[in-house]
């Protein structure tokens, strides 16, 4: 969905990492009805971008997120299918070698998604441990396009220096980069580097996707209600680890939320939108879609944004860096 006013053009994507993830999100097949409702509500409310990956889903459920989306798409009207973009990510596992290393995984993703695949992203950079492999993966995607498959190319977990190199590499193949996806939030590490990536994207007309904008739900926790949450052991451990260090930031989010009569989640997402990012918000329930869709109805003021910036800078403990993110 797009929203345009004098200052902010907004688009928000539906993130599906939790769909099939037992370890962190306690996924059960009994959740599928709720996920179906989430999907349909998102489409009904104008969301037009859905992000997934071939690695989403733990253990035997690997690829579950794509499979669920493919299943839900079967009951989606042709008009809605045309309006939405499905963006997946292919993992550059060590056994996917050479300039044909993505062939099988691409075809499997295409099959799981029932031939609805608009953006194919390299899930993470191999620059730190196998830089030549990264270029071969991109060549592989270019070759698939030359063979007649119809999609656009994206990157994920990429730094500014590597991004410039890969943009040039694609241009040699007469291909353009559609999107870049990185960790971007009020608690994201290396925000200076992230902003450099954003600048390069703006200069090259590349969509800038912000993943983990709510920091696994940390930014949604009421600062006055820090009791243990009903979730997995891993998420509770994460909340406990960040509870004290994020208290002032969450208090600031709540104060703005109360003044606006909105949720803390909406404030945190609007911080991303204020900067022209396209946040990918993980949602598993219809109620979450309804809440986040209200972000399109209002914008942060400059004073509110600057206040959040200041409190964020003073928050000494940031989210962990992705070890595969390049420089």
Establish if 229 belongs to a structural domain.
yes
Q: Which residues partner with 152 through β-bridges?
A: 119
pLDDT tens digits for range 230-253: 688 999 999 999 999 999 999 999
Least confident window among 46-55, 124-133, 158-167, 302-311: 124-133
Establish if 160 belongs to a structural domain.
yes
- Cα atoms found within 13 Å of the Cα of residue 230, Cβ hemisphere only: 0
Least confident window among 119-123, 128-132, 146-150, 243-247: 128-132
Token pair belonging to 10 = 């907004």
Mean pLDDT calculated for residue range 298-319: 96
- The total of structural domains in the chain comes to 1
Is 148 within 8 Å of 123 (Cβ atoms)?
no
Establish if 237 belongs to a structural domain.
yes
Establish if 163 belongs to a structural domain.
yes
Establish if 244 belongs to a structural domain.
yes
The catalytic position among 27, 33, 56, 274 is 56
**Band (229; pLDDT cuts 50, 70, 90):** low
Establish if 325 belongs to a structural domain.
no
Q: How buried is residue 3: exposed, middle or buried, by Cβ count under 10 Å (0-12/13-18/19+)?
A: middle
Which residues span the domain enclosing 233? Answer: 7-314
C-alpha of 102 from chain center: 21
Pairing relation of β-strands 207-211 and 177-183? parallel
CATH of the domain at 235: 3.20.20.100
56 is an active site residue? yes
The pLDDT of residue 2 is: 42
**Band (301; pLDDT cuts 50, 70, 90):** very high
**Band (285; pLDDT cuts 50, 70, 90):** very high
Establish if 320 belongs to a structural domain.
no
Is 16 within 8 Å of 57 (Cβ atoms)?
no
Q: Is the pLDDT of residue 3 over 60?
A: no
Establish if 196 belongs to a structural domain.
yes
Tell me how crowded residue 150 is: count the other CB atoms within 10 A of its CB: 9
DSSP letter at 78 equals H
Q: Supply the DSSP string of 79-97, one letter for each residue.
A: HHHHH-EEEEEE---TTS-
Q: Is the pLDDT of residue 155 over 70?
A: yes
**Band (226; pLDDT cuts 50, 70, 90):** low
């Amino acid at each position: 969905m797009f929203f345009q006013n004098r200052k902010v053009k907004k688009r928000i994507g539906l993130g599906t990492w939790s769909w099939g993830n037992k370890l962190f999100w306690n996924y059960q097949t009994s959740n599928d009805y709720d996920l179906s409702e989430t999907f349909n509500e998102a489409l009904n409310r104008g969301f037009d971008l859905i992000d997934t990956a071939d690695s989403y889903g733990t253990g035997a459920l690997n690829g579950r997120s794509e499979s669920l989306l493919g299943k839900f798409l079967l009951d989606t009207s042709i008009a809605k299918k045309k309006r939405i973009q499905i963006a997946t990510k292919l993992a550059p596992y060590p056994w996917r070698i050479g300039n044909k290393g993505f062939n099988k995984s691409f075809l499997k993703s295409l099959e799981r998604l029932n031939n609805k695949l608009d953006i194919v992203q390299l899930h993470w950079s191999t620059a730190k441990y196998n830089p030549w492999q990264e270029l071969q993966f991109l060549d592989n995607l270019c070759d698939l396009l030359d063979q007649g498959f119809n999609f656009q190319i994206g990157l994920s977990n990429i730094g500014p220096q590597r991004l410039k190199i890969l943009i040039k590499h694609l241009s040699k193949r007469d291909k353009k980069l559609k999107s870049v996806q990185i960790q971007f939030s009020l608690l994201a590490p290396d925000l200076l580097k992230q902003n450099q990536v954003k600048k390069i994207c703006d200069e090259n007309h590349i969509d800038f996707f912000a993943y983990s904008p709510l920091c696994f739900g940390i930014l949604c926790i009421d600062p006055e209600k820090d009791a243990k949450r009903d979730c997995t052991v891993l998420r509770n451990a994460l909340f406990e680890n960040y509870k004290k260090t994020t208290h002032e930031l969450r208090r600031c989010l709540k104060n703005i939320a109360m003044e606006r009569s909105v949720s803390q989640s909406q404030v945190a997402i609007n911080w991303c939108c204020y900067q022209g990012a396209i946040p990918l918000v993980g949602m598993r329930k219809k109620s979450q879609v309804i809440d986040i869709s209200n972000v399109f109805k209002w914008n942060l003021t400059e004073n509110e944004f600057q206040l959040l910036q200041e409190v964020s800078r003073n928050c000494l403990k940031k989210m962990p860096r992705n070890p595969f993110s390049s420089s």
